[in-house]
Structures are given as structure tokens and as C-alpha cells.
A and B are shown apart, each in its own frame.
Chain A
Amino acid sequence: MGGATAALDYDAELMLRVKDGDGASFAELLEKHRSPVVHFLYRMVQQQAVADELAQEVFLRVYRSRGTYEPTAKFTTWLFRIATHLALNALRDGRNERSQERLDERTGDMPTLQVADRRPSVEQVMVRQATLDEVRRAVAELPGKQRAAVLMHKYREMEYTQIAKVLNCSESAVKSLLFRAYETLRARLAHMA
């Protein structure tokens, strides 16, 4: 918890330096949070080009807001609130409407599967690919807020309190969102056990 507090202070401190005109601090924040934001957006919209574009917009908004920034919350809460807002808008506007079609195709968007130790056989690769497609479909079928909650909980290891602040809802609402989301995912993916 102490580490989290220190991280909070440091990120907020960096942002306050950006506010004072320090470009190097913005570059440091970008370096630290670029991958988490892009990965979150990629899993939200499931299309690399759209995720990339949205991530650019996230950091652009952070930079534009530097003049009015006040460290009233964790920097990452603010950052992921912007990212979630943009992702939910993109989903609503259908900017990733082709993503579901693309799930049925083999495209360059998909990261290569990593199988430890040995080089996988063709059969193993195909099985892993089918599994991955199923996971992606199951996540894509979740409603936007449930999807965002699961991704922040699973991949960012955020606490309920922080997810609640990002999604601008109560902690109990987050618990409910997560439980329903995992319930859906269990129904879709439990056979993999």
C-alpha cells in the first residue's frame, strides 16, 4: 500500500511538473503508462488501429488538461477514466464495428501466441488460437462497463474502490458489475478447465 501511495504521489508530482511546463515529466508519464493504456484499450475495442488512435487521444487530453490538473485522485484513476470514457464512446459509436468480423479472420492485429520452452506444433498453435478467439469473443460480448471493470480488475489489478472511481459509480455497483461479468464469462469459458 505504501508503494501504491508513493506511486500515486510520484505520478501526481510528475503531472504537476507538466503543469509547470516541464516537458520531460510528460515524457516520463507517457513512458510509464503508454503500454497499460494501449493494452487496456486494445482489449476494450479489440482492434489495434482503433486502440492506438484512442490511446493517442488519451495522452493528448492529458496534455491539454495540464493547466487545470489538480491531484484530487490517483493519476491512474484519472488516466483510466479518460481511457474508459473514450473506449465506451467508441464502442457506442461503432468505431470498432468491424472487430467482430475480424475475429473470424486471421489478421495482423492478433498478437502471436507465446508458448514457453518449446516451439509449439501446428496443432498446439491452432488450439491456442481457437481458445484465444473464444476468450476474445466472450469478452467482446460483455456490456461496455462490465468489460471495462473486468479488464481493470484482471489486467491492472485495480481495487474495487479505484474501479468505482474510474467508472464513476459506487463500490457495491462495481462488485455487482464484476460478479455478473464473471458469471457470463464462466458460462462461456468454464469448459476450458
Chain B
Amino acid sequence: MPGPYGKDVMKCPLETRENREILVAYSSRALNGGDTERLEAHLQSCSACREFVREQRAVWEALDGWEAAPVSTDFDRRLFARIEGETSWWQRMTGPLGFQLVYRALLPVTAVACLVVVGVLLERPSPPIVRPQPTAQVVEGLQPKQVVDALDEMEVLDQFNHLMKPDSSTPRM
């Protein structure tokens, strides 16, 4: 299968600027089958390209030996702490990370609150029964001042009656 570099006899990649990356691709073993065959045919007759490939493979292998440092163990913890620190309380409550937090935190709180309410309702004393009071007790409940005032009024009324109906024994003026 012909590759992107054509199907004719390959010109020297080092002499054709637009195709020179084929040597890099070949050196890193990333070239497709058709182009590999054509380049290998060219390499048999081109010492400059052979030297290029040899050196490029040396570079490739040297880079292979460069291991990157491992990721720090608390990377995620620090990242999520920064995310939490940046978001407002409302975003925290409504945001994607906050949802889990709210879900986890509010569920037990709600359960405890429900238990407290049920407990309060069960332990609450029943309201006192209101019984109708007899009239006498109401009278008994009058204040002394009210009684004195009532007696005074009765006395005044009595005197008034005497004035309106004078007794015979009473001397006339």
C-alpha cells in the first residue's frame, strides 16, 4: 500500500525538504508499510540517509531512557482543596463536587432532625382539659372591692326608695 510519500522511486529525503520527516518517522518506527519498503530500498544506496537514521535512532533510544518523575501522592487532595477553596458556598452546594458533599452531609443531618422531631412529639405533655366553671364559683371569684361597691349601690338605692315613699312615722317638715 503506497503511503503519503508517493509510489514512485523515492528521491533522497534529505534533498527534498518536504519529505525529510519521513526519516524521523522511519527512525521511530512510525512509518507505514509501503513507505517503509520504499525508504529501505533508498537506504541501501544512500549512506547519508543511513547515517541520519542511525543517529536519529540513537536519539530516540536516549530519550526512551528518560523516566519522568512520579506524580506526588497528594496531587488530587491538593487539587480538590483548591477547587473547594475557590468556589463560593452556593456553588459548593450546587456544584458537581458539592452535590456529593451535600448529599453525604445532609442525609445524616436530616435523619437526626427527623428523629428529634418524632421524639419531641411523643414526649410532649397532653394539653389540660378545660371544664366549664359553675356560676357560684364565678361569684366566689369576685373581688372584695366589687362586693363593697355592690353593697354601696344597694344602700343608695334603698335610701332613694325611702325618700320616694316616706314612712308615716317620719315627722313632716
Number of A-B contacts (CB under 8 A): 116
Distance in angstroms from A102 CB to nearest chain B CB is 12
Which of the 9-residue segments A1-9, A38-46, A69-77, A89-97 touches chain B? A38-46
Given A22-B96, A42-B69, A111-B69: A56 and B59 within 8 A (CB)? no
Complex-state Cα separation, A112 to B67, whole angstroms: 8
Q: Does A168 interact with chain B (Cβ within 8 Å)? A: no
Count A-side interface residues using an 8 Å CB cutoff.
Answer: 54
- Label chain A's interface by main secondary structure: helix
CB–CB B55/A193 < 8 A: yes
A160, B28: Cα distance in complex, Å:
14
Contact, CB under 8 Å: B79 / A179: no
Interface residue tally for chain B (C-beta within 8 Å): 38
Is B69's CB under 8 angstroms from A51's CB?
yes
Q: Report whether B59 and A182 are in contact in the complex, using a CB–CB cutoff of 8 Å.
A: yes
Residues of A within 8 A of B59 (CB): 182, 185-186, 189-190
Asked if B57 and A193 sit within 8 Å, CB to CB, the answer is yes
Instruction: Spell out B's residues near A (CB within 8 Å).
Output: 18, 20-21, 24, 28, 30, 52, 54-63, 65-72, 75-76, 78-79, 82-83, 86, 94-97, 99-100
List, sorted by A's number, 16 A–B pairs whose CB atoms are closer than 8 Å. A21-B99, A42-B69, A48-B72, A52-B75, A56-B78, A56-B82, A63-B83, A114-B67, A132-B65, A134-B62, A135-B66, A155-B63, A186-B56, A186-B58, A189-B62, A193-B54
